[in-house]
Structures are given as C-alpha cells and as structure tokens.
C-alpha cells in the first residue's frame, strides 16, 4: 500500500454516522489501492515469458486432450449399458457434487474459502469500508477461478463420454461444463455460509457425511438423492429434464446467501489463512509438492492423533519399521477418510475401464498417486530431515527403503476397499480377479508417490555449481519432473487391461489378473531398487561425465 492511500483512509470519517458520501470515498480509495497493487504486480511480469507459458500450456494441455480423445477406439456402449447409465448415471455423477458439498462445509467451518493477502486483512478489513463490498471482489475471483477449472474438467470428461454414449461430444461437453459450474457455485456458496454462521467442525462433518451417505444410498437402492438433479444436469448432452435446472438454481441461491453474509466473515480466520496461503503459493511456484501438502493440512487444521489408533506390537523390534507403524497409527480420521475415498474412486475407475472406458485409467492413476502421497508419510518425514538422515550410520537408499515397509502394510485395507468398489460396479464375476489384482495394483500405484517424494529429497551427490539451461529444456525438465510419478501410477493402473483383454478373447479372466498382478509387482520392485540404488547410480553417472570432461580438457590442451 502507498502512503498516500493510507493517508486517504485515515482521513475518512470513521464515526458511527458514516454517511453515503464517506462510504463512496472509502470504496474509491479501496479500488485505487487494488488498481495500484495490480499495476505493481503486473509490472514485475515479463509479458513474453507469460505468453510463452500460456503457449506451452495450450500446446501440451490441449494437444494431450485431443490426442486422448482421438485415440479412443472403444465402441459405442450396448443398449443394456445405455439403460444402466440412464438408471445409475445421475446418482453416480451426483456423488461428485455431494463430495464437493462435504469439502465446502468443512472448509467453511475451518475458516475458508477466502484467502486474502496480509495487507487486505491488516488494513482493508479494519478500515471504515463496508466489509461486504470489500470482500465482493475476492469472492468473485474465487468463484470465477473454481468455476473455470470445474467447467474445463467437466467439458473434457463430457466430450469423452459423448464418444461412447448417445448424443454428440459437443453437447456432452457443454452439459459437463454446466455441471462443473453448478458444482463450483455450490461449493463456494456452502463454504461462505458455513463460515459466516460459525458452524462447528463436528457439525459440518456430520452434515456433509450425511449428504454423502444419502447420495450413496441413492446410488445403491435407486432412491431420490440430494444431488441427483445435479448429476442429471451433466447428462443433458443426451437427454434434457427441466427439473434438473433446479440444481443450478439452488447453487445460485446458496452462493447469493453466502455473499449476503460476508459481513460476518471472521478476521481471525482470514489472518491465519493469509499467511499460510502466501506460503502455499510460493511452494506451488517452486513445485515443492511436500510443502504444498503440509500447508494444505495446516489450512484444514489437520493434526496427528495424540494417541495411536492401535498400539505398536511389542514383537516389532527393528526401529525404522516400528517408527513407521507408529506414524501410520497416528493418522487423523480425516486423512483416513480421504484415503478411503481415493481407494474407492480408484476401484470405480478400474471398473469403468473394464466396461470399455479406457480414459478412466487417468483417473485411476491420479487416485493411486494421491493415495501414495498420503500413505508414505513415514518416508516423507524422513525426507523432511536430511541432516539427521545423513548423520545415521546407514546408506541413505537403504534407510529410505526400510521406510517403505510400514506404508506398504498400511495399504492392505485400502486395497480391499478398491476391490470392493470394483466388485460393487461390475458384480460378483469380478470378485476373484479383483482379489488377485487389487493389492499389487494399489502398492505399485502408490509407488508414484514414492518417486515424487524421493525426487524432492535433498541430493547429497549434487554439485553446488549452478547450471544454466535454455528455457525450453527447463520447461521440459519441469514437465518430466511432474509427470514421471503420475506415469508410474498409470503403468500400475494399466494392469487392468490384461483382464479386459482376456475377457475380450473369452479366455480366463483369472489368468489375466495373475499376469497383471505379476506386472504390478515387478513395477513395485523396480521402484524399490531405484530408491535403494539411486544415489549410487547418480554418483557413477556424474563421475563418468566428470571423467569425460577432464579427458576432453586434456586432449585440447
């Protein structure tokens, strides 16, 4: 903030009889402050670099979507499958909106969804400016960004669905975008209302879980669900029911209610979130995924349990696995629920792949990757303290491998959840293949999280000399850094194709599941060897490069 702008705020009449003219002056000063801040912020941005980043995102992102869309060779679903989609589709898609409602009501109870800059909290919120008018722009920005992301995702998924279901891809993309906007509006409005009324967290969690359970019952027993109309709105690319517009109307009403209650926004919550969000944005800029996860947990006020769920067995004497089990046993309930949801969604996506929707492999890969990040907490804690790791009388690779034991064991119940979700969608014929394939696939898919965590660890073999590389190579290296862990999870998820191929050829699905399980186990073993040998291989490679450079210098001297 500039000194002139602060002086203008101080000169405004702050008496209780704050008239309309004073309110107008206060808003003019606020708008001037935000314009100045925007000019200063944009002044530090090289427009050529910004345009180049937009070009890369549009090229690779749009190209990837088009490539995936054109590579789909799945045939149109049968009439029986179409009837099944018509019967279960609204409830299944509505589950996404129900989960968004759960996340929103918990976010509002924890101080969300707004995250202002520290200057806004310290000066604007304490100035004689109507709080509703002051917060209106941040709310619009929050709703606009979430609606844009949700609409983009909905349009991509919709046009993929339109290639196998009745209707055109364009109509499905439009209906998917409308569904995304509706869900985003409901999320933002619910969070604002929950924040304004100071809803206790336990009540918010109870309400959210009740809605999710009700929607789950609607999916299982074909009863009316609270978010069925929102799910049906996503299917307007196929058929239109005017009653589905009520979902959009309800979302808009909830959002307007949240805006009208902005005057009740908690300054303490805004102050706490402003510092955390500033750190979160910096971590995202630096692609520090571990810091992003920790800051997100702080935003959600998620803390490990003081007492473990179960005591660590006395017969486990090795210190590293024992410490890992103690860490897993203190996972908070919210994290366990989140991991269960990831595992269940992975099973649903795998069932969709079995039914012929190949792009669902991407959803499985993302769910297994996130599950791995959550489960590998003992490994992450070791990586967070590199000084202690280097001081121990054991090779770093061997130490990190030992930290994989407890998370791998902890993934067993979540593998059972994945198998149960797949069986619930496919029927009893999938029991044996799911039982064979679930655990190897989940463990191998979680290996993507292992790759991400280990790659973010400080590298004691790295040369401290700074290397300068062209922007094109830096962009490719950054994309490879982000994409490699997800690729590992995608390879694990693709083992389901062995089972689908076996059923296509009318051979034993159990044999396909066994082959897929062997492939997933080999992938997990390969990642384990990489973690153990990574430092040795890097030292050998760098020594080879150093010797080559020395030889070249001697030969040219």
- Same domain as 111, residue 36: no
Residue 57 lies in a domain: no
Residue 58 lies in a domain: no
Q: Tell whether the torsion through CA atoms of 143, 148, 149 and 155 is positive or negative.
A: positive
How far is 97 from 187, CA to CA, in rounded Å? 8
Predicted pLDDT at 195: 93
Residue 12 lies in a domain: yes
Determine the number of helices (DSSP H) and then strands (DSSP E) in the chain.
24, 0
- Same domain as 8, residue 138: no
Domain of 144, in residue numbers: 84-302
User: Token digits for 12?
Assistant: 């405004």
- Same domain as 287, residue 427: no
How far is 128 from 119, CA to CA, in rounded Å? 15
- Same domain as 345, residue 256: no
**Do 492 and 448 touch, CB atoms closer than 8 A?**
yes
Residue 314 lies in a domain: no
How far is 182 from 229, CA to CA, in rounded Å? 11
User: What is the separation of C-alpha 426 from the centre of its chain, rounded to a whole number of angstroms?
Assistant: 26
**Do 456 and 290 touch, CB atoms closer than 8 A?**
yes
Residue 53 lies in a domain: no
How far is 392 from 318, CA to CA, in rounded Å? 15
- Same domain as 554, residue 411: yes
DSSP single-letter state for residue 121? I
- Same domain as 426, residue 339: yes
How far is 357 from 355, CA to CA, in rounded Å? 6
**Number of residues written out for the chain:** 557
What 166-169 contacts at long range (C-beta under 8 Å, 24+ apart), as own/partner pairs, is: 166/82, 166/238, 167/237, 167/238, 168/237, 169/69, 169/237
- Same domain as 522, residue 407: yes
In our burial notation (b when 16+ CB lie closer than 10 A, e otherwise), range 364-396 reads bbbbbbbbbbbbbbbbbebbbeeeebeeeeeeb
Residue 246 lies in a domain: yes
- Same domain as 129, residue 23: no
- Same domain as 204, residue 113: yes
Predicted pLDDT at 346: 93
User: Token digits for 523?
Assistant: 């992938």
Residue 547 lies in a domain: yes
| Final residue of a structural domain among 13, 28, 43 | 43
Residue 309 lies in a domain: no
Predicted pLDDT at 261: 92
| Final residue of a structural domain among 271, 302, 333 | 302
How far is 215 from 101, CA to CA, in rounded Å? 11
DSSP string, 56-110: HHHHHHHHHHHHHHHH--PPPPPHHHHHHHHHHHHHHHHHHHHHHHHHHHHHHHT
Per-residue pLDDT of the chain (557 residues), as tens digits, is 444 544 454 444 444 444 666 667 777 777 777 777 766 665 555 555 556 555 555 555 555 555 555 555 556 667 777 888 888 889 989 999 999 999 999 989 988 788 787 777 878 887 777 888 888 888 998 999 999 999 988 988 888 888 778 888 889 989 999 999 999 999 999 999 999 999 998 899 899 989 999 998 888 788 899 999 999 999 998 888 899 999 999 999 999 999 999 988 888 888 888 777 777 776 666 666 777 777 777 777 788 888 888 888 878 778 888 888 888 889 998 889 889 989 999 998 899 888 877 778 888 999 999 999 899 988 888 887 777 777 777 888 888 898 899 999 999 999 999 999 999 888 888 899 999 999 999 999 999 989 988 887 666 555 544 444 454 455 555 666 667 888 899 999 999 999 998 888 888 889 999 999 999 999 999 999 999 988 888 888 878 877 777 777 777 76
How would you write 306-336 as a 3-class SS string?
Answer: CCCCCCCCCCCCCHHHHHHHHHHCCCCHHHH
- Same domain as 298, residue 325: no
Predicted pLDDT at 75: 61
**Total of domains in the chain:** 3
pTM: 0.79
End-to-end CA distance of the chain: 59
| Environment class of 334 (CB within 10 Å of its CB; exposed 0-12, middle 13-18, buried 19+) | middle
- Same domain as 99, residue 32: no
- Same domain as 142, residue 285: yes
* Close Cβ partners of 385 (under 8 Å, ≥ 6 residues apart): none
């Amino acid at each position: 903030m500039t000194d002139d702008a602060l002086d203008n705020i101080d000169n405004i009449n702050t008496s209780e009889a704050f008239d309309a003219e004073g309110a107008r002056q206060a808003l003019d000063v606020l708008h001037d402050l935000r314009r100045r801040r925007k000019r200063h912020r944009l002044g530090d941005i090289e427009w050529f670099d910004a345009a180049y980043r937009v070009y890369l995102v549009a090229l690779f992102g749009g190209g990837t979507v088009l490539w995936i869309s054109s590579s789909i060779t799945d045939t149109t679903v049968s009439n029986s499958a179409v009837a099944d989609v018509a019967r279960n589709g609204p409830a299944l898609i509505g589950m996404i909106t129900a989960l968004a409602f759960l996340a929103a009501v918990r976010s509002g109870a924890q101080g969300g969804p707004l995250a202002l800059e520290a200057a806004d909290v310290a000066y604007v919120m304490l100035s004689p400016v109507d709080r509703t008018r002051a917060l209106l722009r941040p709310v619009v920005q929050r709703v606009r960004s979430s609606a844009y992301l949700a609409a983009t995702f909905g349009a991509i998924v919709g046009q993929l669905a339109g290639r196998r279901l009745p209707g055109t891809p364009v109509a499905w993309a439009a209906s998917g975008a409308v569904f995304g906007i509706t869900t985003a509006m409901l999320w933002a409005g619910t969070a604002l209302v929950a924040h304004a009324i100071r809803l206790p967290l336990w009540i918010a969690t109870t309400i959210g879980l009740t809605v999710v359970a009700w929607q789950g019952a609607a999916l299982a027993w074909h009863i009316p669900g609270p978010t069925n109309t929102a799910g049906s709105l996503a299917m307007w690319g196929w058929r239109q029911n005017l009653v589905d517009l009520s979902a959009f109307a309800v979302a808009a009403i909830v959002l307007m209610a949240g805006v009208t209650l902005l005057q009740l926004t908690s300054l303490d919550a805004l102050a706490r979130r402003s510092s955390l969000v500033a750190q979160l944005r910096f971590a995202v800029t630096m692609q520090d995924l571990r810091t992003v996860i920790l800051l997100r947990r702080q935003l959600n006020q998620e803390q490990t349990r003081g007492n473990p769920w179960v005591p660590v067995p006395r017969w486990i004497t090795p210190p590293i696995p024992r410490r890992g089990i103690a860490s897993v046993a203190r996972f908070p309930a919210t994290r366990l629920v989140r991991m269960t949801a990831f595992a269940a969604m992975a099973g649903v996506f795998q069932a969709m792949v079995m039914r012929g929707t190949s792009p669902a492999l991407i959803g499985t890969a993302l769910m297994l990757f996130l599950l791995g990040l959550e489960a590998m907490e003992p490994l992450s804690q070791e990586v967070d303290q590199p000084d202690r790791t280097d001081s121990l009388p054991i090779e770093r690779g061997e130490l990190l491998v030992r930290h994989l034991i407890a998370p791998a064991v902890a993934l067993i119940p979540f593998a059972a959840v994945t198998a149960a979700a797949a069986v619930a969608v496919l029927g009893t014929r999938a029991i044996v293949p799911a039982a064979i394939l679930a655990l190897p696939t989940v463990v191998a898919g979680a290996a993507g999280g292992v790759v991400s965590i280990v790659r973010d660890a400080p590298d004691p073999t790295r040369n401290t000399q700074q290397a300068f590389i062209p922007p094109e190579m830096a962009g490719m290296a950054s994309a490879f850094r982000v994409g490699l862990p997800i690729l590992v999870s995608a390879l694990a998820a693709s083992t389901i194709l062995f089972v689908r191929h076996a059923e296509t050829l009318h051979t034993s699905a159990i044999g396909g599941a066994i082959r897929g399980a062997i492939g997933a186990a080999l992938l997990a073993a390969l990642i384990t060897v990489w973690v153990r040998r990574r430092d040795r291989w890097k030292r050998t490679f760098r020594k080879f490069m150093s010797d080559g450079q020395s030889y070249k210098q001697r030969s040219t001297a």
